[in-house]
Amino acid sequence: MSITNEQELAGMKKASQAVAYTLKKMINYAKPGMTTKDLDEYGAKILSGFGAKSAPYLTYGFPGWTCISVDNEFCHGVPTDQRVLKEGDLINIDVSAELDGFWADNGGSFIIGKDIHQHQKLVDASKDILQKAINTIKGGVKIADVGLLMETEAKKKGFKVIKNLAGHGIGRSLHEQPDELLNYKNRFDNRRFRKNSVVAIETFISTDSNIAVETNDGWTMVGNNGGYMAQHEHTIIVTDGKPVILTEMNEIFN
Please give the pLDDT value at position 118. 98
Residue 202 among known ligand-binding residues: yes
pLDDT of 165-176, one tens digit each? Answer: 999 999 999 999
pLDDT tens for each residue of 25-75: 999 999 999 999 999 999 999 999 999 999 999 999 999 999 999 999 999
**Which band of pLDDT confidence, cut at 50, 70 and 90, is reported for residue 157?**
very high
Is 76 labelled as part of a ligand binding site? yes
Over residues 176-217, the pLDDT tens digits come to 999 999 999 999 999 999 999 999 999 999 999 999 999 999
Question: pLDDT at position 217, please?
Answer: 95
List the domains of the chain with CATH numbers: 6-250 (3.90.230.10)
234 is in an annotated binding site: no
Does residue 200 sit in helix, strand or coil? strand
pLDDT given for residue 134 in this prediction: 98
Q: What's the confidence (pLDDT) of residue 196?
A: 98
φ, ψ of residue 195 in degrees (nearest 5): -55, 140
94 is in an annotated binding site: yes
214 marked as part of a ligand binding site: no
C-alpha dihedral, 138 to 23 to 127 to 109, nearest 10°: -140
Q: Give the separation between CA 141 and CA 234, rounded to whole angstroms.
A: 18
Inter-residue contact 211 to 69 (CB < 8 Å): no
> In the β-sheet with 229-230, what is the strand arrangement from edge to edge?
160-161, 205-206, 229-230
Mean pLDDT of the chain: 98
First to last CA, the chain: 28
DSSP 77: P
Predicted confidence at residue 144, as pLDDT, reads 98
Cα–Cα distance between 212 and 229 in angstroms, integer? Answer: 10
Q: Was 233 annotated as part of a binding site?
A: yes
3-state DSSP assignment of residue 30 = coil
Q: For residue range 79-131, list pLDDT tens digits in order.
A: 999 999 999 999 999 999 999 999 999 999 999 999 999 999 999 999 999 99
Rg from Cα positions in the chain: 17
